[in-house]
A and B are shown apart, each in its own frame.
Chain A
Amino acid sequence: MTTKQPLSHLDWLEAEAIHILREVAGQCANPVLLFSGGKDSLCILRLAEKAFRPGRFPFPLMHIDTGHNYQEVVNFRDQRAAELGERLIVRSVEDSMKRGTVVLKTPDEPRNKHQSVTLLEAIEEFGFDCCIGGARRDEEKARAKERIMSFRDEFGQWDPKNQRPELWNLFNARVHKGENIRAFPISNWTEMDVWQYIEREKLELPSIYFAHQRDIVMRHGAIFPVNVSLPSGEVINQPKAGEEVINMQVRFRTVGDVTCTAPVISDADDVSKIVVETATTTITERGATRLDDQTSDASMEQRKKEGYF
């Protein structure tokens, strides 16, 4: 009889996430894994390998592309999907704009919130009954109340006051046609857990997560990246008149829409340095880097009610 040595916290989180992924595979007829090329979804890919290899993943990967992504991240996304030999579906907000289902107020506004529309369109197109995502409860207050398997009605809406109770590790992913489950295998992970896992598993990441030189301006008290070349070739985030462009060493803590994701000043050029920096930072991931979440205390909750991830 082996003595009972509790699992380390990373082993426990890993085991829980694998269990959740396998429950999705066991309970859902047509799931999909949302994959952006960012660090959280890269962790989930490793977890999916541990959950399903030597078999193929029982779901395709899908990216809802805002068209506002860093070239490095898009390249990395494609490279990783190819290495894994798994199918990658890309659906783009720009196609929704062409269809007229996404209407921008200003041409260069952040497109994160418009991803909901494109996501719902893709869910309908493919008939997905479950989307696996990399959201974490520590990211934001509304997320802290979200279930690991979170029910969305036919309109993709989240009703925070009427969620399915979730007990033990008995997950209920049952849905009627048209309804949808959002499954979050790394709900219980913190930013630190993610970095420690990346370090332990020696995961590769898009280069912009590491310290690099970049042109920035200071805008509304935040570091704002300027003159960014998009995969389409377009260059956006032009400095405004009077703004002083500075070349600085920075890294991204999260990678998202180019127009609203700010880097932080850093000289951490490898994962172990990032782990140390994460341990000593005084600002949350979203506080430091998401320029669109700060409008109101409740903006994430609002977006989620409307079908956002």
Chain B
Amino acid sequence: MINYFRLWYRYFQVEVLSIPSRVIALIFFIVIGALPFFTQSPQVLRILILAGIYAIYAVSWDLLAGHTGQISLGHGLFFAVTGYIAALLNLHLGFGPWLTIPIGALCAVVVGLIVGIPALRLRGFYLALVTLAFPIILTGIIFIYPDFTGGELGLFGISRLSPSRLTDTYIVYVVMLFSVFIMYKLTDATSKFVRTGLVFQAIREDEISARKSGINTVKYKLLAYSVSAFFAGIAGGMYAHFLKIMGPSTLELTFSFQAVLWAIFGGMGTIYGAVVGVYTLFPFMEVLRFFPLGDEIRGVLFASVLIIILLFMPEGIGVWVRDKIEITCPRCKEINIARRKRCRICNAQLRLDDQSS
């Protein structure tokens, strides 16, 4: 038993404690999880909950676009489909969130496959344009049947996720941890057990080459669409049950662009980047709301900060920080703390211009 524990700790030490960015991720998740112990102000909890939901949403975009190369500019579609289906199931059949959210997410998978089919033939800009169209179609359908879908005003009176905002926070927190972890594993090209990450990235790099390696890229692209739509759906379902209202605003272009923005701001194609993007930009935006500024000034302020940061950190803030604290050994490619001079594994010199050693 003790031995087993020691083994586990050793694994933890190698896989997490010796890699700076993972230590930071660990601390970050602990801090987020512990925050409600210090303050339970509804505003703070609200930001935490929404950030958790948006983190799943942004990461699901990154899985599809950043890793598999299927740029989607209508990602809000999957979010909204689940939100609406969860709302309708809840309002008409009285299903609780534990049922409505998974069912809704599975419907999002079906929608994901429907969207994925044109994607099989299209690439780049053309694909992006087509994905742009799908939310518009759903918006149209919603406006055509306002009695059933709530039309422009949306659906009201959805039952809440859980009895209190505090439990809401923890439900979203746990779901977020699981979702992000699963998507991280599915996209990890170095994983020895799940090989999808490697195939996804191969498809992003060169689809024809992937096919010439004997990979059925159609299957994998549809898998990427399904997984991405599923998790975006989970986020959308929790969103509907948390806000207790589901309207067409999530189908607007701006909401789909939010996912792109968060992921690129943090660092595209990294998963953690999308999380970093959400947890920095979203609270920042919410905090700006407390100041008595006009919407326009707030927008200008926000855009300026965005431009300045991306100017200095073109690969995203997450990647920028990572490069500051970590260095990859030129010989064995193991990750080291940036201030080391020699690799912790193979003892190779980490920087060529370093004269001191």
A, B in one complex: no
Chain A residues near B (Cβ < 8 Å)? none
Chain B residues near A (Cβ < 8 Å)? none
